Structures are given as C-alpha cells and as structure tokens.
Amino acid sequence: MIHFFRLHLYVVLVFIVVFGTSVHADDLIAGVYITPPKYIITENGNVEGLCIEIMRALEKTDPQIQFSLDRFMPFSRVMDELRSGVIDVYIGGAWTEEREKIYIYLQPPIYDVDLIMAVRSDDTVDVDSFDEIRSLEGDKTILSLFGTTSSKYILAQDGLKVDNDGKSLEENLDKLLYPRARFFFYHDLSLNYIVKQDAYKDKVRLLPHSYKHHSHYIVFSPMTPKSKVMMVQAALTKISESGELAAIVKKYKPNLHSQ
C-alpha cells in the first residue's frame, strides 16, 4: 500500500489524503513532482497517475516492497533530496550522463517520451527544426520547465530565446496563452494529457515533430540500501517481462506518435 509521507509544502490543498495508517521504517520514500499524467491530484484529493500505478504493480509483485509518497516538490528539489538520501527513489526520471554518475538507474526503462513543441491553437506556425525557429520573424520565445532534462536540452541549443522560469505545466501553458512566448517545449506524454483538460482544450495545439526521443526510468538514491534496490529491480523485471508494465503505460499514452 502506498502511504502519504509528508505534507505538501508548495501547493495548498483543501484536504490531506492518507494512503495508509502509518509509515514503516522499511518503506521506500518516493519523491513526487506533480506532472500529469505521471502524478495527478484528482478531484477528491487522491494522488493517481502512471507512476502511481507502476508503484502499485511493483508492490503487488513483491509485498516486501512498500512505497511512501514524500511531499510534493519542484523537480530540482526532488533530485537534490534523492542525491542526499532524504528520499529513496523517484519513478519517472530521465537518464543523462551527468545523473548516471550520481544516481542508480534500473533497467529496463519504464516508458519512452518525445520532446515536442506546443503552440497556441490560433498560431499557424509549422516548424520541425530549431533552425526554422531561429529564422522566424517576431516572437520566438520558447518556454521550458525549470530544472528538467528537457529544459537543459533546449538551453544547450545556440541562438534560441528560452524562458526557463516556469516551474509547472500550468504556469508555462498560461504564459503561452497570455501570450508571453510562442512555444512551450516539453515531452509528449504530459503535453498530450494536459491539452485535453478544460483549461487548455482547443486553445493549445502540439506540433508533430520530435526534437529528441528518450526514456524515463526508476531512479534510486545512491544512499538507498542495495538490497532494496535489487528487490525493486527484480519486481520491475517481472512486470516488464509479463507485459503488465506495457499495459499500464498504454493506458496513459495509447496513440502518441512516439509509440
């Protein structure tokens, strides 16, 4: 059973949802960064989503595995606390060469994503390369999500104007619609989900070109006991080989162009 560990300090909720009656010493403390559909706060206050379902599948496969959800944090804080061992694991992290020197990545990856551009629905722009964006007239500001792999990737491209201040999908999409930028650069898993929500439906469209294809993983702190890491690795192998993992992922990204 997934337990709720610490109160969210960054987003005020009307209620607190408890996933279990207590947190046990052997629980794996999992970082939570609210990026739908990976982690979703539902109308009744539950935390659901793709990564929560993966946690439940791992717990079901091996009852010795128990996750407790940490307070909701910005992504950069999740990675900092993962590094220091304040939390044990983050479900749904991208691989980078720099991160691999610090964290423990389990195989196989849990799902794949493509980095794409979102624009306002009334914007007729149609670009499929950074060079085309560089050559545009007028505003060509690109929004990115602070502290994420996608943000670091877009910031590394020369000659682009990038606004890296936004710390949530909603903040960046609101800035896109204001408008304070022309593009929002992030992965297709989250963008395909959020543009279907009432606040953005028919207001935002996604350009089909993929600027980068990569995978997300279960990522462990270097401080987490090896025995716990290996326990989750064994369970992950089982749900991957059985097809259960693929079935969970398909619910959240059934028809994306990256599939």
State pLDDT tens for residues 115-126. Answer: 999 999 999 999
CA pair distance 43, 153, nearest whole angstrom: 34
Overall average pLDDT of the 13-17 stretch: 33
| Number of neighbours of residue 101 by Cβ within 10 angstroms | 8
CA pair distance 148, 18, nearest whole angstrom: 28
What does the pLDDT read at residue 70? 87
What does the pLDDT read at residue 23? 54
pLDDT over 70 at 10, yes or no:
no
pLDDT over 70 at 195, yes or no:
yes
For the chain, strand residue ranges (E) read: 3-4, 28-32, 40-41, 47-48, 67-72, 89-94, 104-105, 111-120, 142-143, 162-163, 183-187, 204-206, 212-220
pLDDT over 60 at 28, yes or no:
yes
Token pair for 225: 């006991």
Domains (ranges, CATH) in the chain?
A: 3-111+215-252 (3.40.190.10), 113-212 (3.40.190.10)
For residue 196, CA distances in Å to 15, 92, 113, 134, 189 come to 26, 21, 18, 29, 12
* pLDDT cut 90: percent of the chain above it: 82
Cβ atoms of residues 76 and 16 within 8 Å: no
Q: Considering the chain, what is the average pLDDT of its residues?
A: 90
For residue 43, CA distances in Å to 40, 59, 111, 164 come to 10, 25, 26, 29
Give the bridge partners for 186, in sequence order: 116
- Residues 71-100 have pLDDT tens digits of 888 889 999 999 999 999 999 999 999 999
Q: Would you place residue 7 in the very low, low, confident or very high pLDDT band (cuts 50, 70, 90)? A: very low
CA pair distance 107, 12, nearest whole angstrom: 35
CA-nearest of 57, 54, 44 to 18 is 44
Cβ atoms of residues 195 and 206 within 8 Å: yes
Residue type, 148: T
CA pair distance 142, 220, nearest whole angstrom: 31
